[in-house]
Chains A and B, each alone.
Chain A
Amino acid sequence: VKPLYELSIAEAGRALRDGSVTSVALTEDALGRIEAIDGKLDSFITVTADRAHADAAAADADFARGVDKGPMQGIPYGLKDIYNTAGIRTTCHSKLRVDVVPDADSVVAAKLKAAGGVLLGKLATHEFALGGPSFDLPFPPARNPWNTDHMPGGSSSGSGAAVAAGLVRMAMGSDTGGSIRGPAAYCGTVGFKPTYGLVSRRGVFPLSTTLDHCGPLSWTVEDSAITMGILAGYDKLDPASADVPKPDFLSGLNEGVRGMRFGMPRHFYAEAEGVSPEVVAALDKAAQTLTDLGATVEEITLPDYDLFNACGRVIMFTEAYAIHEADYRSRPLDFGQLTFMRMTLGAFVTAADLQQASRLRRELCEAVSRKLLTYDALITANALGTAPAFADIDPNNPPNFPIQTMAFNVTGHPALAIPTGFSASGLPLSMQIVGRAFDDAKVLRIGAAYEAATGLAARRPACATV
């Protein structure tokens, strides 16, 4: 019999419906684990125990009355602390917002509440989803459950750490340059950045509206698919929201990859500065696994990764600076040092630079979309190494850890981070599966097939078993 924390959303949902477990029991178990484990991880900024108890009691009462709101009913979850939550402080992990209590929920928080989910709390982030990990903020940085001397990645750092440690089955992150997929890579979880426009960002503190995406981190692909089934949908008040039919994320999830064609831009990562041979070997092994499952994997060429990175970072720094300009001018030293230094770069971008980035963005988007006319998906690297140690961070010189996620923020294509194994040092490795725009369900289907073939979800960090 599995311990409660190891039950996926799907498994817990079945147990809730056959009466073998209650939402109150799941919630008490999760709160107890947070109490016992999170002192080492600092993944939570705010634990909403009273709200969780109320949500769980309401879910159990609904089950007793025969009311079923769907697969999140009675399931505990967490939100990155940039998602507005009515009546619950939303700090963005920053001194500038340490007492901000929103009046209204973000669209995502409202949908999860309406679906009967149980909010356990608000999770650590890099400050304003940009600057970190930092030790000069009102809250400590989250730590990596596989080795607490190492960072969990960012900016959805608490989300990655909490999912990996089994404190929550699903936590919402946001992804502007890789802030879902990076923590997923470093913490060994699944992380899904949907197609741009598929999930509303309304009520989520923006970093760069051109590149911002909302999406889940979870322990299994199926749990991300379940979450997407609740969150996907048009929101006319989010100008980037796409008015497209809502995909069915679950019905074809287990249909495998036989007959599919995958393109692998090996030149992206195999020749990149700082790439670990373990990452390259794990990707080669993943390609073989997909081949064994009946797919075809072919090496392809895309524009150089450095172009995607330059385009995305110039847009991100500029928009971040524009959003924070008033505070930056009036109280610059209230930002953490890393945030301050990254944001300052946005002040140096010229209008011509930004216009060139915008033009390049269109070209890169077309180049990736053109490849995806031929291939069902792309298979490529995520982080180019394992999670760096905190000791490697110089607060006076913001680090650029090698990771290749920005490409698909620039293009908007759906991208799934999924574990590919472990390094010799015992830290997780990861890859990305990238699909056609609004073909998110197929990306998750490919991930589910790969996950089932590898069995990697069976291995948890030691701290999770305490």
Chain B
Amino acid sequence: VIPEARRPGLLAGFKDLRKMVGLLRQPRTAANEPASTFSIDTVTRSLNS
């Protein structure tokens, strides 16, 4: 349960967040990969001595 005193601030933050996520929607093709597509090299390199 969110304490009463925190609700107005959270609501204001939520409204800001919804504005921000609106800005993220840009025209793109389905083939546009995200920046976080990982490289197998980086996630396995600690196994290579």
Give CA–CA (A398, B14) in the complex, Å: 12
Chain A residue nearest to B19 (CB atoms) is A310
Residues in A20-77 with C-beta less than 8 Å from chain B: none
The segment from A160-168, A339-347, A419-427 found at the interface with B is: A339-347
Q: Is A400 an interface position by the 8 A CB rule?
A: yes
Contacts A210-B36, A239-B42, A355-B34; A314 near B10 (Cβ below 8 A): no
Interfacial chain B residues near A356, Cβ < 8 Å: 21, 24-26
Query: Chain A interface mostly helix, strand, loop or mixed?
Result: helix
Taking a contact as CB atoms closer than 8 A, the residue among A353, A357, A361, A397 that contacts B9 in the complex is A397
A309 interface hit (Cβ, 8 Å): yes
> What 1/0 flags go to B1-15 for Cβ under 8 Å of A?
011011011101110
| Cβ B21 vs Cβ A349 within 8 A | yes
B6 neighbours in A (Cβ, 8 Å): 337, 340-341, 396
Smallest CB-CB separation from A361: which chain B residue? B35
Residues of A near B17 (CB, < 8 A) are 313-314, 317, 345, 348-349
Residues of B close to A342: CB separation below 8 A: 13
User: A365: CB under 8 A from chain B?
Assistant: yes
Shortest C-beta distance, B10 to chain A (Å), equals 6
Q: How far is the CB of A403 from chain B (nearest CB, A)?
A: 15
Contact A310 to B35, CB < 8 A, known contacts A396-B5, A396-B6: no
| Residues A398 and B9 in contact, CB atoms below 8 Å apart | yes
Q: CA A309 – CA B25 in complex, angstroms?
A: 14
Cα–Cα, bound, A236→B34 (Å): 23
CB of B1 to closest CB in A, whole Å: 9
Name B13-35 residues within 8 Å CB distance of A: 13-14, 16-17, 19-21, 23-26, 28, 32-35
Given the known interface contacts A341-B13, A398-B13, the answer about A359 and B8 at a Cβ–Cβ threshold of 8 Å is no
Complex CA distance for A210 and B38, rounded to whole angstroms:
12
Find residues 283-319 in chain A having any chain B CB closer than 8 Å to their own CB.
306-307, 309-311, 313-314, 317
B44 to chain A, nearest CB (A): 10
Please give the distance in Å from B14's CB to the nearest CB on chain A. Answer: 6
Q: What residue in chain B is nearest A338 (Cβ atoms)?
A: B9
By a CB distance below 8 angstroms, the chain A residues around B14 are 345, 348
- A210 and B14 CA atoms in complex are apart in Å by 22
Which residues of chain A are near B36, meaning CB under 8 Å? 210, 358, 361
| Interfacial chain B residues near A437, Cβ < 8 Å | none
A466 interface contact, C-beta 8 A: no
CA distance A288 to B42 in the complex (A): 43
- The answer on a CB contact under 8 Å between A357 and B24 is yes
Q: Report the separation of the CA atoms of residues A177 and B43 in the bound assembly, to the nearest whole angstrom.
A: 25
Show the binding face of B for A, using Cβ within 8 Å: 2-3, 5-6, 8-10, 12-14, 16-17, 19-21, 23-26, 28, 32-36, 42-43, 45-46, 48
Task: Give me 16 A-to-B residue pairs in the complex whose CB atoms sit less than 8 angstroms apart, sorted by A's number.
Answer: A239-B43, A240-B42, A306-B23, A307-B23, A310-B20, A313-B17, A341-B9, A349-B21, A350-B21, A355-B34, A356-B24, A361-B36, A362-B33, A394-B9, A396-B5, A397-B12
Listed in ascending order, the chain A residues whose CB lies under 8 Å from chain B are 210, 236-237, 239-240, 306-307, 309-311, 313-314, 317, 333, 337, 340-342, 344-345, 348-350, 353, 355-363, 365, 394, 396-398, 400
Shortest beta-carbon contacts, A-B, top 7: A358-B34, A310-B20, A356-B24, A397-B9, A362-B35, A310-B23, A361-B35
Q: A306-B23, A357-B21 are in contact. List 19 more A-B contacts (CB 8 A).
A: A236-B45, A310-B20, A310-B23, A311-B24, A313-B20, A314-B21, A341-B10, A353-B21, A353-B24, A359-B28, A360-B24, A360-B26, A362-B32, A362-B33, A362-B35, A396-B5, A397-B9, A398-B9, A400-B16
